[in-house]
A and B are shown apart, each in its own frame.
Chain A
Amino acid sequence: MKARLDHWRSLEEYADSPECREWLEREFAPMASEWEDAVSRRRFLKLMGASLALAGLGACTRQPLEKIVPYVTQPVGMVPGEPLHFATSLTLGGFARGALIESREGRPVKVEGNPAHPASLGGTDVFMQAATLDLYDPGRAKTVTHAGAIVTWNDFRTALAGELARLANQGGAGIRVLTGNVTSPTLGAQMRALLAKYPGAKWHVWEPLNRDAARAGAELAFGVPLDVVCDFEKADLVVSLDADFLGTGPAQPRYVRDFAKRRRVAEGVENLNRLYVAEPTPSITGARADHRIPTAPGVLSQIAEALGTELGVISKQLDAAYDSAFVTAAAADLLAHRGRSLVLAGESQPAHIHAFAHQMNAALGNVGETVRLIAPVDENPVNRTASLRELVGDLESGKVELLVVLGGNPAFDAPADFAFAEKMLRAKTCVFLGTHPNETAAACDWQIPAAHELESWSDARAFDGTAGIVQPLIEPLYTGAVTPHEFIAAMLGEAVPSSYEIVRDFWREQKVWEDFEAGWEKAVRGGAIADTAFASKPAEARTITPETKATPKGLTLLFRADPTIHDGTFSGSTWLQELPKPLTKLVWDNAVLISPRTAARLGLTTNDLVELTNAARQVVAAIFLIPGQADDTLTLHLGYGRRIGNATATGHGFDAYPLRMSTAMDSTEVTLRKTGETYPLITTQQHFGLEGRNLLRVATLSELRDKPTVIQDMGKIPAPDETLYNPHEFPSKHYAWALTIDLSTCVGCNACVVACQSENNIPVVGKEEVQRGREMHWIRVDTYFAGVPENPGTHFQPVPCMHCENAPCEVVCPVAATLHDSDGLNVQVYNRCVGTRYCSNNCPYKVRRFNFLEYNGGISPVEKLGKNPEVSVRSRGVMEKCSYCIQRIESARTTAAIEERRVRDGEITPACAQACPAEAITFGDLNDSTSRVVKLKATKLNYGMLAELNTRPRTTYLGRITNPQPEARA
């Protein structure tokens, strides 16, 4: 037939496919007549057809057969419009925090804490909340690349197999795998299998914020490296030596929750805990302290020793350059709370302070009570710095043939003296597996896109050892993305099974469950595997003698984890970049924090650019004055100044890593030189004093006991009928939604802010717009300082919309775009808003946010996947504000209506309340006399912010009660 094909009628026929041939034979029966026509037409058609065929067929590839299926039978458990929740774990520095991910129509859109997971108990931190944004980041690594060219995973596997086969001949010598903290038991087992297969290979671990010092301290005290697990619920007294347990770390949501349980004054808690903090730079934990002193690092060491002396664990005469009143008070309190107290050393403190803390806990009988000592949780508990140093040595001597970097960013965050970015180029082949492009990836020959945690099967352990299964919420968005499990499996040369099989096989071999399938399903469903927390290790504290350390002269620069972008891992997240840092309210930048007194001495002021120099390295950074900072001590948070990354990561802030040496990981002595230039640092709050106003009310426990109405007496509330308008205009007959925020338990961690941003599709506006004062957060956390700038009291106040019953915003709107609904909510009708902004002017709380420009314009399709479909995306010219998560209210109301009942107390939780690790936010119905919110509002601690304006806010605060030692000064 092919030979006879002079004329043809379709491309199929021209292509001469068997289907077409069959069809032709059926169509043209032997006797059918043919239409005769002039040649010109036929010639025309021939030419047309030929050109079509050439143009069309040449460009075509046959598309694979894809069967679309109508949505007649739903996947089990899925109802369109109804969210599904899946338990999984999200890691911070390798350690798991349990999460429940809300999935809508197959897209993960919101992260909540997993109440069944010990590192969360339902609370989250800012990093967990930002996970969905990270998943849908258009700047993610999407393809396998080799030397800048896009290749395939199979290309890589072929190349890898060849390289490994060559290296296998020398026993794998020359293979180096560099990971971050690995707590995944499966990955640990895989790595050990890899090391068994290639005995010459080595596994190095590097993490810029590590526990080297803490573990060295434990080794000093007990002879073995141990991890510490605290029980803040039991501790009546906590002494923190620069331990920011409420502010950072993989246990933060859990620790905040436990700590807050001992501060719930409004809920009748009487035995409040007491917190002493000595720290060189202000932290969230310091802000929550009942007694705090700012101490230079050298003095902190003396304080630790002095405490030890007072407690009788150290016998040493000390020179007293420290605040003895603090030590005396803390020591007396510690002795009065034997077995119920807790001494903690911060991870950035040197080993001997950790050792002192261990000794003190042991001497006070706290070990086993408030402190548990457990074996190191991660799979390869080597000293990170030493491990990386070894790798660098091997790179230098040319021993490394194949360097595999699994995640992390050592080229950016390794100690400066290692010059890792430079040295890694000496490896013959360098492979990087990561979710995002970064400095390390750019220096590698091969870049393999890693599947995001929300796209992967894996497992991970929490701070206390509890293991949990990581399950994917979505197929990898980018084909070719692999998990570390698959990657190591490929290195092991196996026919690479999926991560699912790898993780299941591991757990099947562990035989932890009698019935594997049932146990597995339970583990996957629950998120945390029961009874996998590490058991306490019995440990005997040895006495150690403190070594005299020279107190640094001149200026000391401290390196600390950034409160919003951590060690740089999160610098690509717009939510976290625009999240005001708790104590400075800085956005999009870090800065050199300095005490006002030192700044005055050096003639510096905020925004001045200075050059910091240590041991021949220099960094130029901007100055920011902060009260509460120890004198002659500077702080520069890590993680900024990224050079390669997505559009968000680069071009912001100042890189502190060039000053960080392997020999001095937490602080370094620096000299400072003014450059004479300035840099615009942007904060969302410019004024940190209360001007004597009663917006934020604080009293001590003894004041409260003397006078239970002390909080309410600070302001006068007008009678409900003191208004020109009808006070009964909005009766809220059915429900009357209201919110309380407990200032005693709130730690100012910002989780509510990011949770709200995620839930309500709040746009990010960028540094220039924030500079203009146009940030969009519906809930903000106000920070106020009180007292002397050397050591102020620091108070946090989350401020969402107050949902005033007499709302000043409503009367001034000319088009009734903001008005009351039947439940007393102050709602904003975006469609009706014309954007006069009068409501914002008239809002005494300034919680309204305006779309000055098209902030949601130009977002990429993948970013759109992350938007919550329950909430409108607002366009320019429209006012918006907190709605108490009205979408959640309506959803619960619908359910209740279908079931013909009232909404139950606790059925609705706004995003802020749900994320809050301290459970400081309570939402409920004022018409339900049994609700928690009614009970809280009935307490004497309840007050309305600016209620004297007769706004009658539905959001009220429970005054902050501190618990200083009554005899101690300040």
Chain B
Amino acid sequence: MTQKRKPETYEAITAKVSDIVLQQKQPRGWILGFAVAFLLVMVLIFSIAYLFLRGVGIWGINVPVAWGFAIVNFVWWIGIGHAGTLISAFLLLMHQEWRTSINRFAEAMTLFAVACAGLFPLLHLGRPWLFYWLFPYPDTMGVWPQFRSPLVWDVFAVSTYFIISLAFWYAGLIPDLATLRDRTKNRWQQVVFGIGALGWRGSASHWARHQKAYMLLAGLATPLVVSVHSVVSLDFAVGIVPGWHSTIFPPYFVAGAIYSGFAMVLTLLIPLRRLYGLERMITFTHINNSAKIMLATGWIVAYGYIIEAFMSWFSGNRYDAFMMANRATGLYATTFWMLITCNLILPQALWSSRVRANMPLLWVIAIIVNIGMWLERYVIVVTSLSRDFTPSAWGMYGGTKWDYATFWGTVGLFAALLFLFMRLLPAISMSEMRADLEKEKR
């Protein structure tokens, strides 16, 4: 692959990025993609309306498998969000400058993924109109949430995550919004971007304060990379269900989250840079590094699988041993082996630098990992519940058309939000790209 050169001047960078928003006619791919995404959003709205009308019984959940697609999707989306935070905050603190061209996009991805994720805990409630009972608000009856429940911790973890991600993303956007405000000739855009830019004038004191706040927010966001998915994993680890009740869950979930997050970053970036001709900003280095992180986190996840299997034997617990055997050979064995194939076997191709340089192939692998991570959550949630302690109560689960409609609906929502983001906001941080250029020159 030939390495395309970066734009060399401030003006070139600014023009390249801001023209997408201000001038460039949207490529046909955008229109087509947005149309499909919008259609799926309609599907989502329809399935939510029907869900509220009839109840969660339209899904495939039952007793014993009382959690299904909703929770699988929730964990999957939350996991996807993690790469964004990791790229923007964690790598910022680590002074990994290569992140700059993809961080904005990754942050947006985080935000939209968390928005999709956040839908599910609400939708999956039997009585969703009472969702606010999970918040500690001063109730006239003096009733509080039950703080021992991981679901309450979830509420805090996810809402904190969303707020911090939003603030961080917005803080980074401010200088770029000012650039857009200054470049646009459209009065309406001037007003909107002007309000968004909060009176940014690019003065030295603005920059100093901005950098301080930005670093501070990065500092706040970084622990969330670890904490959010740890808390989400406690939804399972606190339960006594064999296959859930395991201390390895928090780190294993965090690694899985980053794994799936980078897979999603690649899934989106590879077509995006092609679509908008951004190869000189989102370079091979970005792609290559992301693929390497995937490989590394993939092995942490694999370690989790191995330890889980080992502990089920080592603990001497008959229920755990049965759970492990059931995963590998039971009625859901196909799902389990598909997961192993997707998450463990096929990604090993990433050891080869030729594979990492082959964009279409890399893109396929990224999608496979996304599928694999979804299956992993499916195996954890469904297989464990379907065969727990009492054999008489064992049962099978399968998603209904409404489960699939809701899932693909959120995929559509995610895509639609991303398409709108690319169209309406600078997808690459102009200010940081300019700063990078400065550093390179020196």
Q: Which residues of chain A have a CB within 8 Å of any CB of chain B? A: 685-693, 695, 769, 772-774, 780, 782-784, 797, 799, 808, 810-816, 819, 832-838, 840-842, 844-846, 848-854, 876-879, 946, 949
Contact = CB atoms under 8 A, between A and B. Distances in A.
Contacts of A878: 126-127
A836 B56 CA distance: 10
A199 B239 CA distance: 77
A337 B416 CA distance: 83
Interface string B120-158: 000011111011011000000001111011111001000
Contact of A876 (B55, B145, B239, B240): B55
B56 A772 contact: no
Contacts of A691: 322, 391
Interface in B377-421: 385, 388-397
Contacts of A816: 143-146
B394 A772 contact: no
A808 B150 CA distance: 13
B390 A814 contact: no
A841 B239 contact: yes
A834 B145 contact: no
Interface in B316-352: 318, 322
Contact of A834 (B54, B67, B133, B318): B133
B159 interface: no
Interface in B58-73: 58, 60-67
A18 to B, nearest CB: 58
B300 interface: no
Contacts of A783: 392
A686 B61 contact: no
Judged by DSSP, the binding face of B is: loop
A815 B388 contact: no
B126 A850 contact: yes
A850 B63 contact: yes
Contacts of A854: 54-55
A848 B63 CA distance: 8
23 contacts: A685-B393, A689-B391, A692-B318, A693-B318, A693-B391, A799-B390, A814-B145, A814-B149, A815-B146, A816-B143, A819-B146, A834-B125, A834-B126, A840-B63, A841-B64, A841-B67, A842-B241, A846-B63, A849-B63, A852-B61, A853-B54, A876-B126, A879-B126
Contacts of B63: 773-774, 840, 846, 848-850
B372 to A, nearest CB: 24
A877 B55 CA distance: 7
Interface in B155-196: 155
A786 B58 CA distance: 37
A946 B389 contact: yes
B127 to A, nearest CB: 4
Given A813-B149, A815-B134, A876 B385 contact: no
A581 to B, nearest CB: 14
Given A691-B391, A852-B55, A876-B55, 4 more contacts: A687-B392, A812-B149, A814-B133, A832-B133
B143 A686 contact: no
Interface of B: 54-58, 60-67, 124-128, 130-131, 133-134, 143-146, 148-152, 155, 235, 238-241, 318, 322, 385, 388-397
Contact of B395 (A693, A773, A812): A773
Given A834-B133, A876-B126, A878-B127, A853 B55 contact: yes
Contacts of B130: 834
A814 B151 contact: yes
Contacts of A949: 240, 389
Given A841-B67, A842-B239, A845-B389, A833 B146 contact: no
A813 B146 CA distance: 7
Contacts of B148: 811-812
Contacts of A810: 146
B241 A846 contact: no
A784 B392 contact: yes
Given A695-B390, A816-B145, A854-B55, A840 B64 contact: yes
B66 A837 contact: yes
A836 B124 CA distance: 7
B134 A834 contact: yes
Contact of B240 (A690, A808, A837, A840): A808
A814 B122 CA distance: 13
A413 to B, nearest CB: 34
A852 B151 contact: no
Contacts of A692: 318
A877 B391 contact: no
B145 A844 contact: no
A839 B56 CA distance: 16
B57 A852 contact: yes
A841 B148 CA distance: 16
A846 B388 contact: yes
Contacts of A686: 394-396
B146 A814 contact: yes
B136 to A, nearest CB: 11
Contacts of B134: 814-815, 834
B127 A833 contact: yes
Nearest to B132: A834
A769 B57 contact: yes
Contacts of A853: 54-55, 57-58
A32 to B, nearest CB: 62
A842 B240 contact: yes
B61 A845 contact: no
A686 B134 CA distance: 35
A878 B108 CA distance: 37
Contacts of B58: 853
Contacts of A840: 63-64, 66
Nearest 9 interchain pairs by C-beta: A835-B126, A877-B126, A852-B57, A773-B62, A853-B57, A846-B393, A837-B66, A782-B392, A814-B151
A837 B67 contact: yes
Nearest to A875: B127
A838 B392 contact: no
B151 A774 contact: no
Contacts of A773: 62-65, 395-397
Given A812-B151, A816-B145, A876 B57 contact: yes
A845 B390 contact: yes
Contacts of B235: 838
Given A692-B318, A876-B126, A852 B56 contact: yes
Contacts of B397: 773
A835 B241 CA distance: 19
Contact of A815 (B55, B124, B128, B145): B145
B62 A774 contact: yes
B391 A838 contact: no
B64 A846 contact: yes
A780 B57 CA distance: 21
Contacts of A772: 57, 60, 62
Contact of A837 (B126, B144, B322, B396): B126
B159 to A, nearest CB: 14
Contacts of A782: 390, 392-393
A833 B241 CA distance: 22
Contact of A811 (B55, B131, B149, B394): B149
B151 A836 contact: yes
A686 to B, nearest CB: 6
Contacts of B392: 685, 687-688, 780, 782-784, 797, 799
B149 A837 contact: no
A358 to B, nearest CB: 41
Nearest to B130: A834
A836 B70 CA distance: 11
Contact of B125 (A688, A836, A841, A851): A836
A90 to B, nearest CB: 31
